[in-house]
């Protein structure tokens, strides 16, 4: 039986809305709620974990070898580390990125009282007309960067009067654009894959189909700091398909137009047997894919392993250019990944 068709407009629309919902690690409630609303239209049983992840379980034709899917909704971001004497903010990073990849970006600051403030992330010595060649020479590190808030403030006292305090979350603007089949945005890692899982579930529902095995999707919210899917899956899970972006660049086979299977990353090899089954499924269904290794990468599947999860784990995802920077993928990669998830869900 051929795989059911994918609703690509739904996939791109949901992805766009998710990308435009700020969710730096630790501040993911709005994004999880959007996922919860979207998954409510599927025949799944939903619940939240105590640490705020979303768990959606779809009963299968069988329940003797239950499966898992995981993708993460949390993104890179920052928190307020210090309110400087000039009223500007020093940040601490959330996740592994370089400051130069977000220099000049617009930001939103979320105060504990619920107020949002806008600003920009800049060098503390940003003006070329004032600091000359230093602008090029300064190393982009924590001490060199600051947030300029779009409010009348020139002192720490005035900034605190706006409601800003140490520990407030800061999100970088995603700047989502969809052009000629490309989706260009920050935080495609890993909202692209959350959208692929949602699109796969919608395809099953629209075709009135059921997973071959009971399947639990965990939309995690702490992946960027290493422990997203360490907990939350039901007891008895036998295997886990982690869905996360594929790294595109020099020395990689992955590209923006294919799904990729990662067979090894910084945590070591994935489960050879499950990876081989996925390759066989892709070959059978005519799914365009690459096989790759990512030297500076880790996944939620490995987080579950490190927490003691006794399951087979494999990793697939769409090719994403400029990861942890201003990222880009193509709908062909999103569709291929979604079809691969579908093939896995329906396979005996």
Domain range list for the chain: 8-75+187-346, 77-172
- Smallest CA-to-CA distance from 149 within 120, 192, 174 is with 120
CATH topology of domain 8-75+187-346: Aminopeptidase (3.40.630)
CA torsion sign, 13 to 19 to 22 to 28? positive
Q: 89-94 and 182-185 as β-strands: parallel, antiparallel, unpaired?
A: unpaired
What crossing angle do the helices spanning 331-346 and 272-285 adopt, rounded to 10°? 110
Top CATH class, 77-172: mainly beta
CA gap 66, 215 in Å, rounded: 6
Catalytic annotation, residues: 223
Residue that the structure tokens 């700020």 belong to = 22
Per-residue pLDDT of the chain (348 residues; tens, 9 = 90+): 799 999 999 999 999 999 999 999 999 999 999 999 999 999 999 999 999 999 999 999 999 999 999 999 999 999 999 999 999 999 999 999 999 999 999 999 999 999 999 999 999 999 999 999 999 999 999 999 999 999 999 999 999 999 999 999 999 999 999 999 999 999 999 999 999 999 999 999 999 999 999 999 999 999 999 999 999 999 999 999 999 999 999 999 999 999 999 999 999 999 999 999 999 999 999 999 999 999 999 999 999 999 999 999 999 999 999 999 999 999 999 999 999 999 999 999
Give the pLDDT confidence score for residue 209 in this predicted structure: 98
Task: Report the 10 Å Cβ neighbour count for 321.
Answer: 21
- Lookup: tokens for 289: 């894919």
pLDDT of residue 311: 98
**What is the distance in angstroms between the CA of the first residue and the CA of the last residue of the chain?**
13
pLDDT digits (tens, 9 = 90+) for 236-292: 999 999 999 999 999 999 999 999 999 999 999 999 999 999 999 999 999 999 999
Neighbours of 310 (CB within 10 A): 8
At residue 43, the 3 state secondary structure works out as coil
pTM of the full predicted structure? 0.98
**CB contact set of 310 (below 8 Å; sequence gap of 6+):** none
CA pair distance 126, 132, nearest whole angstrom:
9
pLDDT given at position 1: 77
Phi–psi pair at 298, nearest 5 degrees? -145, 160
Contacts made by residues 144-147, CB under 8 angstroms, sequence distance 24+: 144/99, 145/90, 145/91, 145/99, 145/103, 145/121, 146/84, 146/88, 146/89, 146/90, 146/91, 146/121, 146/122, 147/88, 147/89, 147/91, 147/107, 147/109, 147/119, 147/120, 147/121, 147/122
Q: What pLDDT score does 30 carry?
A: 98
């Amino acid at each position: 039986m051929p795989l059911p068709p994918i609703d690509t407009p739904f996939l791109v629309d949901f992805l766009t809305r998710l990308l435009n919902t700020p969710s730096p690690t630790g501040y993911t409630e709005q994004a999880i709620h959007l996922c919860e609303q979207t998954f409510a239209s599927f025949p799944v049983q939903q619940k939240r974990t105590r640490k705020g992840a979303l768990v959606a379980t779809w009963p299968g034709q069988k329940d003797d070898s239950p499966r898992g899917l995981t993708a993460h909704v949390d993104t890179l971001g920052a928190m307020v580390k210090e309110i400087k004497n000039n009223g500007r903010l020093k940040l601490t990073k959330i996740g592994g990125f370089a400051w130069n990849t977000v220099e000049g970006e617009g930001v939103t600051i979320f105060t504990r009282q619920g107020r949002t403030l806008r600003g920009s992330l800049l060098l503390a010595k940003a003006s070329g007309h004032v600091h000359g060649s230093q602008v090029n020479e300064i190393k982009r590190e924590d001490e060199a960067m600051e947030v300029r808030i779009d409010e009348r403030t020139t002192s720490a006292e005035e900034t605190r009067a706006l409601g800003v305090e140490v520990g407030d979350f800061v999100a970088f603007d995603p700047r989502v654009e969809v052009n000629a089949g490309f989706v260009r945005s920050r935080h495609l890692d890993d909202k692209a894959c959350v959208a692929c899982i949602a699109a796969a579930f919608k395809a099953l529902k629209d075709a009135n189909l059921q997973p071959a095995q009971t399947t639990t999707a965990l939309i995690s919210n702490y992946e960027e700091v290493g422990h997203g899917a360490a907990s939350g899956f039901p007891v008895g899970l036998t295997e886990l398909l982690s869905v996360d972006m594929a790294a595109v660049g020099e020395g990689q086979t992955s590209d923006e137009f294919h799904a990729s299977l990662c067979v090894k990353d910084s945590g070591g090899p994935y489960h050879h047997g499950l990876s081989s089954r996925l390759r066989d499924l892709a070959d059978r269904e005519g799914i365009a894919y690459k096989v790759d290794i990512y030297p500076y990468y880790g996944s939620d599947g490995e987080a579950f392993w490190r927490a003691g999860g006794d399951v087979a784990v494999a990793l697939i995802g769409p090719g994403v250019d400029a990861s942890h920077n201003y990222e880009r993928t193509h709908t062909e990669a999103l569709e291929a990944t979604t079809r691969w998830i579908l093939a896995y869900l329906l396979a005996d």
